[in-house]
Amino acid sequence: MIGAAGVLFNVATLANNLLYIGPKATVNTTSLNGNEIKATKVLIGPTVEYQIPVGNNKTRVLTGINTGYLFGNIDIFGFKQTTSGFAANAYGGVEIGLGKHIALGVILNLFEYNNTTFKAEEGNVSNTTSNTVFVTDRPAILIGVRIDLNKK
């Protein structure tokens, strides 16, 4: 399960398209094989998003970068670890207006970078750097509701 919340502020207009910047928090939880494998990952940091209106301005093409501090915990068959580090992902997608203030968003994570430190309960520490590309690795597709608090 993935949950995300953020607030984006329009900071500029580039080529008649809107550029937004703001804070975002994402929580990702995983449970496999009953509860023998559990993981929680939290990403908090800034997001930059560029929106390109298409057609009647109810549909927008989205591109953006989400970065921040990553932390969480992992429990695999009773062996517990905490995680911390830096993560960034580039995404693309579409926002389809459903009403005056609400839209459906479909976002694809195109590229993801993680530099994570794992610390086991016993004190062992390891660092891992990983990259995920949408085309060749596990694709992440997010579907959600986007609320525009600025429209009158």
* pLDDT tens-place string over residues 31-49: 877 778 888 889 999 999 9
Residue scoring higher pLDDT (122 or 49): 49
Q: What is the mean pLDDT of the chain?
A: 85
Residue scoring higher pLDDT (57 or 1): 57
Q: What is the CATH number of the domain that holds 70?
A: 2.40.128.100
Round to whole Å and give the CA distance between 32 and 139: 18
CB neighbourhood size of 89 (10 A): 22
Structure token digits, residue 113 = 């970078």
Asked whether residue 152 is assigned to any structural domain, the reply reads no
Asked whether residue 57 is assigned to any structural domain, the reply reads yes
Asked whether residue 84 is assigned to any structural domain, the reply reads yes
* pLDDT tens string 71-119: 998 888 888 888 889 999 899 999 999 988 899 999 988 888 888 887 8
Contact 73, 39 (CB under 8 A): yes
Binned at pLDDT 50, 70 and 90, residue 133 comes out as low
Structure token digits, residue 20 = 């937004």
Q: What percent of the chain has pLDDT over 90?
A: 38
Round to whole Å and give the CA distance between 88 and 111: 8
Asked whether residue 63 is assigned to any structural domain, the reply reads yes
Number of domains in the chain: 1
